[in-house]
Amino acid sequence: MSAEAVPSTLDAVHGAEWAPWKMPWWRPAPSDRLTFVWMILIHVGAVVGLILTPFPGWRVILAAATLHFLGGLGTTVCYHRGITHKSVRLHPAVRNVLTFFAMLNGSGEPLSWAAHHRLHHAKSDTPEDISSPRVGGFWWSHLRWLWQAGAPPIRKYCRDIDTPAYRFWTHMQTPVSLLGFCIGIPFGLAAFFWLGPIRLVFALHAQCFVNSVCHMRANAGPDEETAQNVRWLSLMHFFQGENWHRNHHDRPGSARLGGTPGQLDIGWYTILLLERLGLAKDVRRPTIERSLDAAA
């Protein structure tokens, strides 16, 4: 099917019907054109920034790392474990603060994130999977699906959370994303690049490796799950737990992603701290404590 033949209302749940991974990479789905422009913007900005300001100073690096860490907690604790899988119920104030930092880190708004991820679990490793490397290859699963898979299937997968509280953040996506890009401007040229596009590109690829490399288990048979734990990816995630992806697919309802104390999961310890402070409840703990570290 040609790009021109793709209906403007197509959403990601219909992906297998028109195989978007077979399209040229530069042709976004009609609903994803702004996403494609955003991807180009942050990558070009990151390259220019690395050329002009290869080392911005330790204070700027620390500030960028802090924003990345907070944004990562927003994605793993709030978006992934709290909103999507409901393995923890966060206090609304905590949920909103973490949502803000997740969006500031380039994760998008919570409704689309949850819809895409629930579709991924429902159709994992099949042609209907939103980001399967088994079907579309590495680059499809790593990046291309973000601008070629179609609109998030919110009505199908997120009716339970399609409420004003979450739709508010949908309306805020553009201003918060622009803030994330420009947040370093008051602090100089190096801060602009490192707190903005360089940080956003780093955060993007850290998350995207979960969709790509964490679903490329080398010895997986054609009818077996491809999910695997990837130990080195914990460095990009600042040890927050998203790299323990095989564990997550084995028990998606658990709020803990690391299977053992050796599989460091700061997201889990953050949830325990919030629970002790009365800011989180209904924490779903794993029923089996075992290591599934396929990367070890």
Q: Pick from 97, 41, 91, 39: which is nearest to 70 by CA?
A: 97
pLDDT above 50 for 293: no
270: amino acid identity, one letter: T
> 48-71: string of b/e by CB count within 10 Å (b at 16+)?
ebeeebeebeeebbebbeebbbbb
Are 108 and 80 within 8 A, CB to CB?
A: no
- pLDDT of res. 126: 93
- pLDDT of res. 15: 67
- State how far the Cα of 238 lies from the Cα of 115, in Å rounded to an integer: 25
- pLDDT of res. 18: 77
pLDDT above 90 for 56: yes
